[in-house]
């Protein structure tokens, strides 16, 4: 129910003019099964009428799913998805696990600044390394 609430709020937030929402979720193949029914039966959940919700599983998790999930929920086969990984934040977890003991004792504002700094540093390192592999 928490995931449904978050997704409904994300879909409703400044999404006028869109007719489709792509939801990339580790267990999107299971989550999507009764999503429309859950939204219809809960007064706290809503999505715009005529909104199509497409579920996908990110590339990192898809390899651990059953074979039928690949053809149905792979981002490679969803029109308009482009070349999306869908799970880039999870690639930072190993790095963030190293700083989490320090960040745990900080105030919320300081913790946010430290995490932002580490994300920016990670992005800068990726940007600098792009030239080595693009030629």
Q: What is the pTM of this model?
A: 0.69
Which pLDDT does position 104 carry in this prediction?
A: 87
The ranges of the chain with pLDDT < 70 are 1, 86, 132-135
pLDDT value at residue 58: 86
Q: Compute the distance between CA of residue 36 and CA of residue 100 in angstroms, rounded to an integer.
A: 37
Q: What is the pLDDT of residue 133?
A: 64
Dump pLDDT digits (tens) for 32-45: 999 999 999 999 99
DSSP codes, 64-109: TS-HHHHHHHBGGGSTT--S--S-GGGGGHHHHHHHHHHHHTS-HH
Sketch the domain layout of the chain as residue ranges.
2-82, 89-133
């Amino acid at each position: 129910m928490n995931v449904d609430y978050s997704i409904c709020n994300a879909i409703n937030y400044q999404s006028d003019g869109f007719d489709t929402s792509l939801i990339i979720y580790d267990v999107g193949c299971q989550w999507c099964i009764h999503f429309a029914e859950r939204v219809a039966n809960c007064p706290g959940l809503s999505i715009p009428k005529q909104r199509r919700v497409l579920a996908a599983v990110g590339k990192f998790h898809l390899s651990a799913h059953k074979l039928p999930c690949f053809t149905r929920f792979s981002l490679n086969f969803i029109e308009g998805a482009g070349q999306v990984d869908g799970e880039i934040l999870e690639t930072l977890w190993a790095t963030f696990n190293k700083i989490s003991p320090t960040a745990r004792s900080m105030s919320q504002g300081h913790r946010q600044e430290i995490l932002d700094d580490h994300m920016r540093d990670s992005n800068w390192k990726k940007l600098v390394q792009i030239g080595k592999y693009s030629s």
